[in-house]
C-alpha cells in the first residue's frame, strides 16, 4: 500500500478522487499549474470564486477544487464572473473554460471584460476544437486541420486569441502550451496578482477528439508538436508573418497598469457616500 | 524515503497517456505489469538512484499520479527540470 498523498491534493474536494478527463488530456497539466500557482502565492481556496462554462475544460475547477465553484451555462462564465467580481471585489475570481466556450458562443463577453479591465483571471484552455461535443471545428481550429466537421481540412481562418485580447484592452495577457507548465504557473501567478483583466491562454492537447481527426496523434505526439513549433514572442516580433505560419507564439503579450473596474466602482461608491454626509 | 511514488490508482495508462515516460530526461519509466482497478497500466520506476528529482514527471502528469520527494536522500543532486 502506498500512503503518499500528492502535495496539491489538499486543494481538492476529498470525495472527488478522479479527474473527468480522458487519458493524456492537457487539462490536467493546467489543473496542476493553477493549484501550484495558488500554493506558491500562499493563497487560500476561501479567497477564490472559480467560474466555468460548458465543455471538458470547464470541468477543471468543478467539481475538483475545494472552493466556491460556479459551473455556469455555455459561453457565459465571464458574464457570471463579472457579477461576482462587482459584488465581491475582494475575492480572486478565476474563470477556467475552453476556447469554444470563451471565444465562440462567449466571445463577446470575453472581449468586453477585457475592454472594461475588470479584475478577473481567465485561464482559457485552447485545444482548437469543441472537445466535449465530439470534435467539431471551432473558431480556433488551425486552418487546414481536419476535424469531424471539416474532414478535408478547415477552410476558415482561426482566431489568434492572445493578441485579440490585448487589442480589446486587457492589462495582462500571456500564452503558453502544456509543454511549458513552469512558465504557465508563473503566468497564472502574475495574472492573479495583476490588478486588472488577465488572460492566460493555454494551448493544450485533446488527444481524443483533436488528435484522432487531425491525425496529429496522441498526447505525447501533440506535446512534441507544441515543443517544436513554439516560438518566443521576443523572437517572433523579429520574424515575418510567412515564417510564423503554423507556429505558436508563446510568452507575455502585454503587462500594463490601468484603472480596474471593480475598484473604480468601489471608489465611486465611497465618494458618493462621503458627499452625502 | 523513496524519491518517486507512483500513485497507481490515479494513472490513466502509459499506453494512452505516457507523458511521464516522455518528459523524464533520464528515461527512467517503463510500463508496469499490473493493471489498476480502472483497467490502466501505470508506469514503474526502473532506476531510482539515477533520478535527479527534477520533478518533470510530477508536474506534467495530468492525473496527479506521481509524487517526487525533492528532499529524499542519496543519488545525484537534485536537477532542475526544464520545459523547453
Ligand atoms: C447553448 C448551448 N449551445 C451548445 C451547447 C453544446 N456544447 C457543449 S460544450 C460545447 C463546446 C465546448 O468547446 P470548448 O469550450 O472548446 O471546450 P472543450 O470541450 O474543447 O474543452 C458545445 C458547443 C451547449 N451545451 N449549450
Ligand atoms: S475529449 Fe479531449 S478535451 Fe475532452 S477530456 Fe477528452 S482529451 Fe480532454
Ligand atoms: S503521466 Fe501520469 S497518468 Fe500519464 S501515464 Fe504517467 S503516471 Fe499515468
Ligand atoms: S523526477 Fe525527473 S529524473 Fe526523476 S523520474 Fe521524474 S522526470 Fe525522471
Ligand atoms: Mg475546446
The reported pLDDT for the residue numbered B76 is 57
Proportion of chain A above pLDDT 70, given as a percent? 99
Confidence tier at B71 by pLDDT (50, 70, 90) = confident
The residues on B that touch A, with CB distances below 8 Å, are 5, 7-8, 10, 12-13, 16-19, 21-22, 38, 40, 59-65, 67, 81-84
Partners of B59 on chain A (C-beta within 8 Å) are: 29, 32, 36, 181-182
Alpha carbon nearest to ligand 1 atom 20, residue: A131
CA distances, B12 to each of A78, A205, B63 (Å): 32, 15, 7
Q: A161 in ligand 1 pocket by Cβ < 6 Å?
A: no
Output the CA B68–ligand 4 centroid distance in Å: 8
Residue boundaries of the structural domains of chain A: 23-276
Q: Regarding the domain delimited by A23-276, which CATH topology (the fold level of the hierarchy) does it fall under?
A: Rossmann fold (3.40.50)
The reported pLDDT for the residue numbered A121 is 99
- Residues paired with residue A153 on neighbouring β-strands, in sequence order: none
Q: Does A251 touch chain B (CB under 8 A)?
A: no
Coil, strand or helix at B8:
helix
Nine-digit cell at A120?
Answer: 478577473
CATH of domain B4-71: 3.30.70.20
Give buried/exposed letters for B28-64 (b at 16+ CB in 10 A, else e).
bbeebeeebeeebbbbbbeeeeebbbbbbbbbbbbbb
Residue boundaries of the structural domains of chain B: 4-71
pLDDT of B74 > 60? The answer is no
- Region of residue A55 (left: phi > 0; alpha: psi -120 to 50; beta: else): left
Q: Give every CB contact of residue A75 below 8 A, 6+ residues apart in sequence.
A: A53, A54, A101, A102, A104, A105, A106, A109
Weakly modelled stretches of chain A, pLDDT under 70: 1-2, 277
- Alpha-carbon distance A88 to A78, whole Å? 15
* Residue B50 Cα: closest atom of ligand 4: 3
Instruction: Look at A36 and B8 and tell me if their CB atoms are within 8 Å.
Output: no
Amino acid at each position: 500500500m502506498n500512503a503518499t498523498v500528492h502535495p496539491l491534493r489538499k486543494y481538492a474536494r476529498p470525495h472527488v478522487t478522479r479527474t473527468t478527463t480522458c487519458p493524456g488530456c492537457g487539462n490536467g497539466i493546467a489543473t496542476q499549474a493553477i493549484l501550484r500557482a495558488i500554493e506558491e502565492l500562499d493563497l487560500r481556496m476561501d479567497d477564490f470564486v472559480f467560474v466555468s462554462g460548458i465543455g471538458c475544460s470547464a470541468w477543471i475547477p468543478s467539481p475538483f477544487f475545494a472552493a466556491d465553484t460556479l459551473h455556469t451555462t455555455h459561453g457565459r462564465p465571464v458574464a457570471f464572473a463579472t457579477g461576482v467580481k462587482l459584488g465581491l471585489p475582494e475575492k480572486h475570481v478565476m474563470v477556467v473554460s475552453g476556447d469554444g466556450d470563451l471565444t465562440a458562443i462567449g466571445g463577446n463577453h470575453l472581449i468586453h471584460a477585457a475592454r472594461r479591465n475588470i479584475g478577473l483571471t481567465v485561464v482559457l484552455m485552447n485545444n482548437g476544437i469543441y472537445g466535449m461535443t465530439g470534435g467539431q471545428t471551432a473558431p480556433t481550429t488551425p486552418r487546414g486541420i481536419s476535424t469531424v466537421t471539416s474532414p478535408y481540412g478547415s477552410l476558415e481562418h482561426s482566431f489568434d486569441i492572445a493578441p485579440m485580447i490585448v487589442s480589446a484592452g486587457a492589462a495582462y495577457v500571456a500564452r503558453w502550451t502544456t509543454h511549458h507548465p513552469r512558465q504557465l504557473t508563473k503566468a497564472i501567478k502574475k495574472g492573479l496578482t495583476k490588478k486588472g483583466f488577465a488572460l492566460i491562454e493555454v494551448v493544450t492537447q485533446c488527444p481524443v477528439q483533436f488528435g484522432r481527426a487531425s491525425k496529429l496523434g496522441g498526447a505525447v505526439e501533440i506535446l512534441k508538436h507544441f515543443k517544436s513549433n513554439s516560438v518566443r514572442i521576443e523572437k517572433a516580433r523579429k520574424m515575418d508573418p510567412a515564417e510564423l505560419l503554423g507556429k505558436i507564439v508563446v510568452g507575455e503579450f502585454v503587462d500594463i497598469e490601468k484603472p480596474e473596474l471593480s475598484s473604480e466602482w468601489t471608489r465611486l461608491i465611497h465618494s458618493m457616500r462621503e458627499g452625502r454626509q | 524515503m523513496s524519491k518517486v511514488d507512483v500513485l497507481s490508482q490515479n494513472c490513466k495508462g502509459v499506453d494512452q497517456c505516457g507523458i511521464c515516460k516522455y518528459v523524464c530526461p533520464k528515461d527512467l519509466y517503463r510500463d508496469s505489469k499490473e493493471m489498476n482497478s480502472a483497467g490502466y497500466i501505470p508506469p514503474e520506476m526502473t532506476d531510482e538512484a539515477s533520478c535527479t528529482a527534477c520533478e518533470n514527471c510530477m508536474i506534467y502528469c495530468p492525473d496527479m499520479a506521481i509524487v517526487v520527494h525533492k528532499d529524499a536522500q542519496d543519488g545525484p543532486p537534485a536537477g532542475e527540470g526544464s520545459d523547453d
